[in-house]
Chain A
Amino acid sequence: MVKNNVFYSLGSPRLAMVGMAALAIGAVLSYGNPDTVSIWVLILPLLFLAVNLLMAILTNPRIYKRHGLLLFHVGLLSIVILSAIGRLTHFEADVEMVRDTVFDSTEVLRAKAGIWHDGTLAEVQFQQGHYTVDYSPGLVRGKTKSYITVFDPSGVATQKIVGDDTPLVLEGYRFYTSFNKGFAPILTWQPADGGEPLTGAIPMPSYPLFEYKQDNQWAPPDSEQIDFWLRLDTGLTEDEAWTLDGRHAQGILVVKSGDQRVELRPGESTKLPGGVLVYEQLTTWLGYKIFYDPTLFWLFIASVLTVVGMTAHFWRKITLDIQDQVHYKQKKMRIQSAVPGSRERA
């Protein structure tokens, strides 16, 4: 295809071996995704291998004249290119959804996006319902079922159940339930000066992981900080199978402000310096991991085609040569006939 000594050298098998060795070193350094190791330990060998592959495809007749080998090399090159595009366009984040609330893209946490990411996360619309998590004896987490309501552009609602290895996929964004979940008392703060009441949820730490530490703080506008502690009754039993279901949980909210300490049940309120605090109800929150990579499908196709190409090329070498087996049998026959008396006994 292309006859140029420089190009041919760039696509040489020897350079491929060098690139593979460099990639192996990069892979070792990348083990565990340490913060101290630059992503370039992978990018540079992959760039090097991509150039090597491209030149080999263009200049090496042993590759471009063999369809299987050509498909294999083009597939490998496609995987490298697609992976690069994937990293440049990817998006990752976490979000904690309180029951009955609608997803808000401005509330995502720990967001990381590739420089080419131009997604449509703001267009994602769904409402979090309740969820259940099964536990085996010994508090070993089992299946999570999260009940979601999805709205299409015309506003029609559809119910979905997601969890664990079944993500919610909207606008290309994949929402995976995480082990992070818990309870959240919904509170209303009525300022003493007659200002606008505030209503919101105070998420408590993950449950049952931090079952012993269900506390949080909040400071109303122009008021002292309030400490909260939630005393839960969820039916949790470590020795037996148990299902975490926020709909059947009850919680007493212990409120501490200055020297004042009061226990509230849902619907009760207390007067604090600066206003009145109402404990409306107990609800739940569930953590999601958000993942976006538009190349996923094409990466899968490229990977499969790569293996198809590899298999097609190897097929002739893999299929057994009958002559070799005949050779083996003949040798055995010779041994048998060489043993004194073997024929007679046989």
Chain B
Amino acid sequence: MFVEVLWLWAGLAAYAIATYYAFRSVAQYRDAATGMTSEIVSHSGEKRVLFFMMAGVVLLTICMIVRWLRIDHGPFVDLFELLISQLWSLGLIYAVSYWRFPLLRPTAVIVLPMLWIPGLWVLTLEVSSIPNPPTYFNDWKWAHVGFGKFFLAFCLIGTGLAGVIFARMHPYFARSFQFMPTDKVLDNYAWRFMLLALVFESLMLIAGAVWAQDAWGRYWAWDALETSAFLNWLLLGAAIHARFTYNISVRTGAILIVLVFVFAFITYFGIPFYSGAAHKGVI
């Protein structure tokens, strides 16, 4: 067994503990709101969530460094390392947002379980390593990948807020999230993150086009990932257009946010299923 797998397991274990405390923290608020507990409602649960999320990020960082040193390139080529990289960046950006914006904290019960999709997936994969293709030494790759990570993370945060709006439609969950601002305020926050997502997706597409021009002699070729990313950009653009131009309801807005995220998720994690490598045929 490669050493990086142990660090991966450790990182995922930390995320699992963070998930447990996230649910416990929200349950505590629910019980407090209904008078079912006399325990002090404090921030300690949230602090534990943050601590274990950051611990997971640190452990996944070590996992990637160990792997990097072993195979002599970063996590850019095969699905195993792409999933670890996404778990790391989504965890890091969400943890920083969680720390910076207290309003987001209850969304951890929605966001962290979503991280378990790539988290469980990566455990089913064989530890492989593909040499870095010659076109992957280009500096624009870093910008492309970096912007893409922010795009997906902001979509994830927006979806976490949209998830709270949906959850509050059920009386049981409504109590869990009743201490959060109104749906209108959550909708406002969620769309702010979607605006950031559009900015970063646009930057991702531009950096990717410059990289593609340098690497493969064309800036756009309608490969699987390019087509999917462009459709995602159109969908996000249309959703923002609809949200800010028409008086759509909060729930319709939440549905649009989830749709955008699902499409982004498929673009990131579905296309590698389909094409085997991030940009098949051009690596």
List B contacts of A327 (CB < 8 A).
181, 185
CB-CB < 8 A to A345: which residues of B?
A: 40
Question: B276 to chain A: closest CB distance in Å?
Answer: 15
Cβ of B17 under 8 Å from chain A: no
What 3 pairs across the A-B complex have the smallest Cβ distances? A176-B217, A164-B134, A165-B214
A342 to B42, CA, bound (A): 10
CB distance from B190 to the nearest CB of A (A): 12
Nearest Cβ distance between residue B13 and chain A, in whole angstroms?
30
Residue of A nearest to B209 (CB): A303
B33 to A, closest residue via Cβ: A335
Contact B227 A30 (CB under 8 A): yes
Q: Do residues B41 and A336 form an inter-chain contact, with CB atoms below 8 A?
A: yes
* A341 proximal to B (CB < 8 A): yes
**How many residues in B have their beta carbons less than 8 Å from beta carbons of A?**
60
In the complex, are the beta carbons of B131 and A307 less than 8 A apart? Answer: no
Q: Which of B4-12, B84-92, B119-127, B238-246 contacts A (4 or more CB under 8 A)?
A: B238-246
Query: Is the CB of A318 closer than 8 A to any CB of chain B?
Result: yes
- The segment from A12-20, A121-129, A209-217 that touches chain B is A12-20
- A163, A165, A307: which contacts B199 (Cβ < 8 A)? A307
Quick check: A318 and B195 within 8 Å, CB to CB? yes
Question: Contact: B192 with A296, CB < 8 Å?
Answer: no
Contact A339 B217 (CB under 8 A): no
**Interface of A (DSSP majority class):** helix
User: B40 — which chain A residues lie within 8 A by C-beta?
Assistant: 336, 339, 342, 345-346
Residues of A within 8 A of B (CB): 13, 16-17, 20-21, 23-24, 27-28, 30-33, 136, 140-144, 163-167, 174, 176, 289, 291, 296, 299-300, 303-304, 306-307, 310-311, 314, 317-318, 320-321, 324-325, 327-329, 331-332, 334-336, 338-342, 345-346
Interfacial chain A residues near B195, Cβ < 8 Å: 314, 317-318
Residue contact B203 to A164, C-beta cutoff 8 Å: no
Of the candidates A141, A310, A338, the one whose C-beta lies within 8 Å of that of B198 is A310
The chain B residue sitting closest to A90, CB to CB, is B218
Q: Which residues of the other chain, B, contact A335 by a CB distance below 8 angstroms?
A: 29, 32-33, 41, 179
Considering only CB atoms, which chain B residue lies closest to A311 in the complex?
B199
Taking the closest CB of chain A, its distance from the CB of B275, in whole angstroms, is: 11
Shortest B200–chain A CB gap in Å is 9
In the complex, chain B residues whose CB is within 8 Å of the CB of A328: 102-103, 179-181
**Given known contacts A141-B133, A300-B210, A318-B196, what 9 new A-B pairs fall within 8 Å (CB)?**
A20-B234, A33-B221, A165-B215, A176-B217, A311-B199, A325-B103, A336-B32, A338-B32, A342-B38
Q: Which of B138, B179, B237 has the largest number of chain A CB atoms within 10 A? A: B179
Encode B114-158 as 1/0 by CB contact (under 8 A) with A.
Answer: 000000000000000011011101100000000000000000000
- Given the interface pairs A33-B222, A165-B138, the reply to whether A17 lies near B241 with Cβ below 8 Å is yes
